[in-house]
A and B are shown apart, each in its own frame.
Chain A
Amino acid sequence: MLQALLVYLAVVLCFFVHYFFGNILTDRPLIVGTIVGLVLGDIKTGIILGGTFELIFLGITNAGGVVPANTALGTSCGVALAILSNLDASEALTIAVPVALLGSQLITLMYTLRAAMNPYIDKLIEKNEQRKIGVFIFVQAIVSYLIIFFPVFLVVAYGIEPVQAIIAAIPTFVTGGLSVASGMLAAVGFGMLLNLVWSKSLAVYFFVGYTLSAYFNIPVLGVAICGLLYSIILYISRNKKSSTLVMASGKEDLFND
């Protein structure tokens, strides 16, 4: 039980360091495997399995959808059980993969729940409670990591069966529905951005961006470059005009609104 708790906290710490020191990849299998090995007193197995999982999950993360498989959760469970019950790499992997997928469901849930806390931040902003916002960031992060990685504790303390039971108990339309909803939620965020930048005279450019991406399959970077180049053209042509014409008619402007 103490081992389970230590492994659990170590993995949460890896995740916390990863995020709060700038995505420095301490959540990757190679690091997590090493740390779990260190905690359980068999660092060599941890490193070897971590390296193996690193290669395997390299493929899985790239193929992932909105949320990639939670490799840290999968690796920590796999490596811990491998060390504690003497499993080999392929047996450890059969544990790691389903747990990693469960982990991505938990992350989806967490990102949704965090969004649900945004009204609280709005209230803090309204009262100019800057200190509380700072505290909130850390509390929210640590609590959500503790929830995301709770399966590690279960797996190390009680074996793989309870976690498999949990995975089987969730109806597929709930997990599926949540991941569908997670794809739609960004629409609210983009709506809020539009609310700030939108003006009637410029609205057409929103649809220019849509057309470039939807019909010409230009990625966001390409659309931004198109916008930048177009802006430069406007800027140059206006400067030319202003040096020749504008002196006469003060109102002459490309952007009359």
Chain B
Amino acid sequence: MTKNKESILYLEPQDDKMIRKVAWRSIIGSGTYNYENMQALVFLYAMMPVIDRYYESEEDQITAMKRHFTLFNITPAMYGFVTGLAASMEKIASKNSDYDTSSINAIKTSLMGPLSGIGDSIFWGALKVVATGVGVSFAQEGSILGPILYFLINFIPAWFVKMWLPRISFKLGINFLEQMEKTGAMALITKLCNIVGLMTIGSMATTMVKIKLAAEWTNQGTILNLQSVIDSILPSLLPVALTLIMFKFLKKGVKPMVLMLILIIFGVLGKAIGLL
């Protein structure tokens, strides 16, 4: 995209080709969203050119692909930042067999919340409101400028961000990681990443897993709601407990699909008998 070698956006031709692919694939963002691992499929899709390039043996490729088919969810405008960064980590990991690959997912996870926060406030908060204001005021007069301006105000900034972010984060990632390898701080950084990752997962499980009991009973004329009783002891106990139970089962090798089926049946039955 740029010929100037000093520029932060300059990449070697082969890297350039790969990152271009990553950027285009990252754009799909939440196009394949599902409730179990959210945008994981697109992340896997975006990482395939990277995995193909850096891992020679089929076995390593499969391990790397499995690594990226895990829960991921981010505001789509920011998607490319994380895929670009993950690409830089895969590059380092493929050359260094000591590299702790759990840090890759830890970093992905810890970036979801912060980047979504920034992206949402820029693209959903500011731009979309401006676009709606401008677009609707023209549209109410029946002017074709309404939808066109609405589209362009939303589209142009987002498109630039999506095309440039993977490039920037790939380059920053490589520089940072190589620096860390030289100074021998890699193991510490990996630990720190895992700490941030675990804290973020703890917070996300608390706020994003939704389970509420609807069961109530009457005790000496006052209505007791089971959920409010639990909330007064330990708030958000159920979402976190459910997450940990799922984790325990998964660790024992239970297939995610089986757990999801159980949850769906539990949801419908629970609703039918008034528990949920």
Contacts and interface: CB of A to CB of B under 8 A. Distances in A.
Contact of A128 (B30, B62, B188): B62
Nearest to A193: B71
Given A48-B139, A193-B105, A212 B76 contact: no
Contacts of B202: 205-213, 223
A178 B268 contact: yes
Contacts of B199: 205-206, 208-209, 212, 223-224, 226-227
A210 B235 CA distance: 10
Interface string A214-254: 11001111011111101100110010000000000000000
Interface of A: 19-26, 28, 30-31, 33-34, 43-45, 47-48, 50-52, 54-55, 58, 66, 111-112, 114-119, 121-122, 125-126, 128, 130, 133-134, 137, 140-141, 173-174, 176-178, 180-199, 202-203, 205-215, 218-221, 223-228, 230-231, 234-235, 238, 255
B194 interface: yes
A177 B201 contact: no
Centre residue among A181, A198, A234 by max chain B CB count within 10 A? A181
A187 B267 CA distance: 13
Nearest to A211: B202
A111 B33 contact: yes
A137 B243 contact: no
Contact of B31 (A141, A209, A211): A141
Interface of B: 27-38, 40-42, 44-45, 48, 52, 58, 61-62, 65-67, 69-71, 76-77, 79, 102, 105-106, 109-114, 116-117, 128, 131-132, 135-136, 138-144, 146-147, 150-151, 154-155, 158-159, 162, 188, 191-211, 234-236, 239-240, 242-247, 249-251, 255-257, 259-260, 263-264, 266-272, 276
Contacts of A23: 29-30, 76-77, 158
A221 B117 contact: yes
Contacts of B257: 116, 118-119
Nearest to A199: B194
Contacts, number: 364
B31 A137 contact: yes
Nearest to A25: B154
For the complex of A and B, list the 8 residue pairs with the smallest distance between their C-beta atoms, beginning with the closest.
Answer: A209-B202, A183-B210, A181-B267, A51-B139, A177-B268, A191-B246, A189-B71, A220-B113
A184 B205 CA distance: 10
A34 B110 contact: no
A161 to B, nearest CB: 28
Contact of B260 (A31, A116, A122, A134): A116
B159 A22 contact: yes
22 contacts: A19-B30, A52-B140, A112-B35, A115-B37, A133-B48, A137-B28, A180-B276, A182-B267, A183-B211, A186-B71, A192-B71, A194-B243, A202-B194, A209-B205, A214-B206, A218-B203, A220-B204, A224-B203, A227-B196, A227-B199, A228-B196, A234-B192
A149 B60 CA distance: 41
A22 B75 CA distance: 10
A184 B65 CA distance: 26
B65 A125 contact: yes
